[in-house]
Amino acid sequence: MNRRDLLSASVLGGTSSAILSAAPLAAAPSDSAKAKALGLQFRSLADITHATLAWHKEFGLNRKMKAGLTPEREAELLKKLG
């Protein structure tokens, strides 16, 4: 799906321009020296993934989410992607 398709599918809504134009900024490098000096420790992707899955399991994998697409809407958009 391209940007126009996402807009017409109402995935991005009225804030689409801000979301799409801000995306490159999220990848911009930042200086973490101050955070590291204060004790920031980086976790491995595997550790973060395991911790996130454990958190979801604790609260129930089938619970209704309060944010994001509904399962039905997600399936509809995935079907459009082919």
Whole-number pLDDT of residue 22: 45
For residues 69 and 11, what is the distance between their CA atoms, to the nearest angstrom? 8
For residues 22 and 12, what is the distance between their CA atoms, to the nearest angstrom? 13
Q: Mind listing the pLDDT tens digit for each residue in 36-51?
A: 899 988 899 999 999 9
**Residue spans per domain, the chain:** 1-41, 43-82
What does the pLDDT average to over 28-36? 78
Whole-angstrom CA distances from 57 to 32, 44, 50, 52 are 32, 20, 10, 9
For residues 68 and 49, what is the distance between their CA atoms, to the nearest angstrom? 19
Q: Which residue has the tokens 């082919």?
A: 82
Whole-angstrom CA distances from 38 to 30, 45, 48, 75, 81 are 16, 22, 21, 44, 45
Query: What pTM did the predictor assign?
Result: 0.40
